[in-house]
Structure 1
Amino acid sequence: MSEFTKAFDYEKEFNARLYLDTYFHLGSGSLADDFLRFELANLHKIFTSGGVTGKTLIDIGTCPSIYHLLSACESFNEIIATWYTQTELHELQMWMNKDQGAFDWSSVVKHVCELEGKSGKCQEKEDKLRGKIKQVLHCDVSKNNPLEPVVLPKADCLIAAVCLEAACRNQNSYITALKNLSNLLKPEGHLILAGDLGANYYEVGPNKIFSLAVSEQSLRNALSESGYAIRELVSFGKPEGADFDNSDYEGFYFIHAQKP
């Protein structure tokens, strides 16, 4: 088995629009409500603390989601979004172009605006993020330069949200991916990771999509072995009595790490 998920195989199983419809309507009562509230609160905190700011942020595996960039766009001059499959790219392009039929992010945007004390500014928030996204590039974390053939100046910050667990098939490839991502970062640059703990899969329609099951300890080990210093690691356990059956997740994590 390849150590990394191939784009062709992933695209056969992963329906980008169905994924968005399933997991990104905040208030739907799904497991995503817990995930979104946890991650959005931590993203808001990290990007309003004043410690994680700069010129350029590269988001690893943006497509088809934008929720994790809503707070980040307040702290960076430019955002480089990335994609791995064409269907994911298509969803982002529809939102960027304000196309009829683009996914409706309003429930998530409303929540972020409320966190920021800017209720009623949802359209302005989406437009601000659109304006901050300066490039949309292909990304492959298995490569030494994940943005190959493009070579960019080193970034101040990287985000990888619910991305590496889909791309990496085992702990060794996860570590390799983190080392490759480090090549995109300035010295003392920031790395933000977010995702599920203990999940071997999540369902998108009838398909079970592979996820590398990670734990707090495996994440700590991977970051240490790839040369990052952890500044903060917070987690949220699966609530007692939660009966969501579209993933075998055990909780969620949020990590702020830094390159030496």
Structure 2
Amino acid sequence: MLSTKLLQLNFSLGRRMFQSSCQSRGHLILRLKPHRHLSPVTIRRAVSPLGGVSSVRYSSSGKYDKSYKQFDPRAFMEMRCPGTEFETVDKRIQSQWKLTKLHDFYKDFHMEWDTANAKFLEFAAGPYLHTLISAAPHVGEIYHSDYLPACRDEVLMWMRKDPNAYNWDPYFKYVVNTLEGQDGEDAVLKRQEVLRSKFKGSLYLDMKSDNMLPDHNGKFDVIFSGYCIEYLSSSLEEYKTFIKKVYSLLNPNGYFVMLASMGATEYYVDDLIYPCYPLRINEVLTTLEEIGFTTWFSEIVRIKREEGIEYPSDQVWNSCYVAQKS
């Protein structure tokens, strides 16, 4: 029998409380920098839970596709975010934690910017759309970005109500009905239309170019990146370069929200393998500080799977960061 428990996490952030809850099994949680009304804790004192841990392989067989030329967005989404199987245990845990972190961020930080005029960017989003759901009520313009045309096309299909678009309904229902407490299908449909009305485009993004977003000249008030930058980095130096580029895209005092894997060296889609730089939390926090961010919140969580649920390793952790451009 699979056991579940509700973890209630409270993080004091000055005049309000960053409060999150996620239903999960066997979470081990490390929290850093909880107090916004105090000066941020010195990065050098942060403890790395992955110190000394060997890097982890997600797949023992297959072939590498480092250029992403064979990347299949639909296969990726069906594996990571099943459109009709959100309630399966292994997918639910990961998705609910991710969506809860984003919901909590907007709930507790949206007063920091002008909602009507704020510009939001999801940086190197892949084919994902569910990570935009919580942003929709709290910003004025929403931009998606990715390098691959196929990933951008997946998002555009949903925006134009193409009947072949991916089914994100379970994720809208979880955010709107469960996290926000709004009842009924009408609330879900309204959120979908709000997102479509504020969506301004899916931008071509080349992280290795000096001109990353050739089709957009402005800066952003909020940037989100989820499980992306470490997977496109071959080294710590390249990871730092990409974080610097995110910093350059933000307006003064803009916010950067990042979800990242700690300790993974690769992931797979079918029989294709995609490499990843095995981050440690001290590397993330030090990088953010060196570049000029003030980190207001960070959390690292190990989601342990029960016996019988396939999972590559207990040493792969999920992490969340909220940082502000100084």
- Secondary structure of the equivalent of 1:209? strand
Indicate the residue corresponding to 2:136 in structure 1. Answer: 73
Listed as ranges, the gaps of 5+ residues in structure 1 are 1-6
Aligned length: 251
Q: Tell me which amino acid in the other structure corresponds to 2:238.
A: S
Indicate the residue corresponding to 1:94 in structure 2. Answer: 157
Q: Tell me which amino acid in the other structure corresponds to 1:20.
A: M
Q: In the alignment, which of 64, 80, 89 is matched to residue 29 of structure 1?
A: 89
- Pairing of 1:181-220 with structure 2 (within 5 A): 181-220=246-285
- Secondary structure of the equivalent of 2:69? helix
How many Å apart are 1:216 and its aligned residue? 1.5
How many Å apart are 1:246 and its aligned residue? 5.8
Distance 1:205 1:145 in 2: 33
Indicate the residue corresponding to 1:158 in structure 2. Answer: 223
Indicate the residue corresponding to 2:28 in structure 1. Answer: none
- Secondary structure of the equivalent of 1:143? coil
Q: Tell me which amino acid in the other structure corresponds to 2:80.
A: Y
Distance 1:147 1:249 in 2: 35
In 1, are the aligned partners of 2:296 and 2:324 still within 8 Å (CA)? Answer: yes
Indicate the residue corresponding to 1:3 in structure 2. Answer: none
2:76 counterpart of 1:16: no
How many Å apart are 1:119 and its aligned residue? 3.0
Distance 1:39 1:251 in 2: 13
- Secondary structure of the equivalent of 1:9? coil
Distance 2:291 2:124 in 1: 19
Q: In the alignment, which of 23, 26, 38 is matched to residue 97 of structure 2?
A: 38
How many Å apart are 1:256 and its aligned residue? 0.3
Q: TM-score, normalising length from structure 1?
A: 0.89
How many Å apart are 1:171 and its aligned residue? 0.9
Output one character per residue of 1:70-92: Cα deviation in whole Å (capped at 9) or x when no partner: 10111100011112101111211
Considering Cα pairs closer than 8 Å and 6+ residues apart, tell me whether 1 or 2 has the greater RCO.
2
Distance 1:52 1:172 in 2: 31
Q: In the alignment, which of 278, 292, 301 is matched to residue 236 of structure 1?
A: 301
Distance 1:61 1:112 in 2: 22
Q: Tell me which amino acid in the other structure corresponds to 1:236.
A: V
Output one character per residue of 1:210-230: Cα deviation in whole Å (capped at 9) or x when no partner: 222212112112212222111
Output one character per residue of 1:100-138: Cα deviation in whole Å (capped at 9) or x when no partner: 121111111111012111132222222211111112211
How many Å apart are 1:240 and its aligned residue? 5.5
Distance 1:48 1:134 in 2: 23
Q: Tell me which amino acid in the other structure corresponds to 1:119.
A: D
Output one character per residue of 1:198-250: Cα deviation in whole Å (capped at 9) or x when no partner: 12122211222222221211211221222211110012113154643467861
Larger Rg: 2
In 2, are the aligned partners of 1:155 and 1:186 still within 8 Å (CA)? Answer: yes
Q: In the alignment, which of 182, 198, 205 is matched to residue 132 of structure 1?
A: 198
- Secondary structure of the equivalent of 2:255? strand
Q: Tell me which amino acid in the other structure corresponds to 1:217.
A: N
Indicate the residue corresponding to 1:4 in structure 2. Answer: none
In 1, are the aligned partners of 2:302 and 2:315 still within 8 Å (CA)? Answer: no
In 2, are the aligned partners of 1:142 and 1:180 still within 8 Å (CA)? Answer: no
How many Å apart are 1:168 and its aligned residue? 1.5
Give aligned-pair identity as a percent.
23
- Secondary structure of the equivalent of 1:11? coil
2:243 counterpart of 1:178: yes
Distance 1:225 1:111 in 2: 37
In 2, are the aligned partners of 1:175 and 1:225 still within 8 Å (CA)? Answer: no
When the two chains are superposed, the root-mean-square deviation of aligned CA atoms in Å is: 2.0
In 1, are the aligned partners of 2:305 and 2:311 still within 8 Å (CA)? Answer: no
